[in-house]
Each structure stands twice: as C-alpha cells, then as structure tokens.
C-alpha cells in the first residue's frame, strides 16, 4: 500500500481526475473530501462489504421454499 | 412504448454483476403467480444459484431510495417510471426473511439492463429489513 503523509487541506490526485483532500482532523476522525467524475462511484467500504455479505447470505437454491407474507398494511 | 417481444423477455443483464457475484452478468427474472409477491432471479446459464427478490414498495410503501446520478446515467433512466426496483431477500428460516434496502437492483424496464445500486441514503435503511412473515400454522 502506498502511504503518504498529508496535512489538513492537502490532497492527493489519482489518475489525474480524482482528488482526495484531508479536510479536517477531529480526534480519531479524519474528514476526507473526494472529488471524482460522476462515473466513479465512491462509497464507504463498510457499505460495500455489508451488501456483499448480504448477497452471499441471500444466494440460495432455486428450490428454496418461500415464506408466506402477512397481508401488507393498508 | 414496449414492444410485445420486449415485454415477454425476462432476461436481465447486470453488466457489473451482483456484489460478491461479479462474474455472473446474465440473469432471468422468473415470477410464478402462486409465489407473488416474490420472484426469482436466476443466472441465465450455469450456476445452480438463485436470488429471491421482491418489490420493496410492496413491503415498505414509503421507501425512498436515492439513486446516485452516476447510476441513473449508467442505466439510461430518463424518468422514475423507467426503473424497476427489486430488493434481494434473504431466507433465514421458515418464519424469518429479510430484505436488503441499501442495495436494490435497479433495472431499466426498456433495455432490461440493471445494476445493484448502493443508494446514496443507505444510512437510512437496513440490509436486513425484516419481512412481515405470517406465523406458521
């Protein structure tokens, strides 16, 4: 992993079109600003992992029995 | 306006796959009236694997996913009506099932191209939203 030291307000540039800036330090929390083209999705890693894990749990056999749902509330 | 041929086509292409299953890109959406409101998403070929999906609005009428502009463009959605939404269901036993409201499948109903979208307001929703399963008799 490439590790760079940055001060508040300093940035790194990735691939010429993505800029990551250290906006603020607040105790253990670092506020990071990401400027990227609209075609580059940016998400917190936890959300990715959460959805990936959920998908892996959801993958089932085509013969799985489906539950009966309670009637939707009106 | 959809052509009858397009309407009968139940194939869905997910160019980016489903997170964790990126290698599978072609799926079929199979709906059996007896199993409504559930439907099945199955790989068009190969893998003996399936996902149970449901229209999230059926479970949560007030669901308001914020689809990132990137994804709207990628899917070529011109108006909200162009999109079909499915949430992936996890079966957790005979009386328990949950649905993923953070990462719905958004499908362009005209092109049948879709994507598992991480909604911008994912923080408001759960990946394990409980389904109102009827008590077993």
Per the document, the length of chain A is 74
CB B89 within 8 A of CB B96: no
Q: Which residues of B touch A64 (CB under 8 A)?
A: 50, 52, 91
CA distance linking residue B120 with residue B98, whole number of Å: 21
Q: Which residue of A has its CA nearest to B48?
A: A61
CB contact under 8 A, A55 and B116: yes
CB contact under 8 A, B49 and A60: yes
B128 touches chain A (CB under 8 A): yes
CA distance linking residue B17 with residue B116, whole number of Å: 8
CB contact under 8 A, A70 and B88: no
Q: Which ipTM score applies to this complex?
A: 0.88
Dihedrals phi, psi of B115, to nearest 5 degrees = -155, 145
CB B97 within 8 A of CB B53: no
For range B67-72, the mean pLDDT: 89
Comparing CB atoms, the residue among A55, A56, A70 nearest residue B132 is A70
CB neighbours of residue A56 within 10 Å = 13
pLDDT digit of tens for each residue in chain A (74 aa)?
Answer: 999 999 999 999 999 999 999 999 999 999 999 998 876 777 789 999 999 999 999 999 888 888 888 765 54
Give this prediction's pTM: 0.81
Nearest CA to B134 out of A36, A44, A72, A11 is that of: A72
pLDDT at B134: 79
DSSP assignment letter at B46 = S
**pLDDT tens by residue, B27-63:** 999 998 888 899 999 999 887 899 999 999 999 999 9
């Amino acid at each position: 992993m490439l590790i760079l030291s940055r001060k508040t307000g300093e940035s790194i540039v990735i691939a010429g079109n993505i800029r990551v800036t250290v906006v603020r330090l607040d105790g253990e929390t670092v506020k990071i600003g990401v400027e990227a083209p609209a075609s580059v999705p940016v998400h917190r890693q936890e959300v990715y992992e959460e959805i990936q894990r959920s998908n892996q749990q959801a993958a089932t056999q085509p013969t799985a029995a489906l539950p009966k749902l309670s009637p939707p509330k009106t | 306006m959809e052509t009858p041929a397009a309407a009968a086509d139940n194939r869905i292409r997910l160019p980016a796959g489903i997170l964790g299953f990126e290698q599978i890109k072609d799926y079929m959406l199979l709906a059996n009236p007896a199993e409504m409101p559930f439907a099945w998403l199955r790989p068009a070929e190969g893998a003996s694997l399936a996902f149970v999906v449901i229209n999230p609005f059926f479970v949560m009428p007030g669901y308001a996913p914020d689809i990132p502009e990137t994804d709207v463009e990628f899917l070529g959605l011109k108006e909200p009506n162009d999109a079909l939404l499915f949430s992936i269901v996890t079966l957790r036993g005979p009386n328990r099932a949950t649905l993923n409201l953070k990462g719905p499948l958004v499908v362009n109903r005209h092109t049948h191209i879709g994507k598992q979208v991480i909604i911008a307001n994912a923080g408001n929703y759960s990946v394990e939203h409980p389904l109102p399963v009827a008590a077993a008799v």
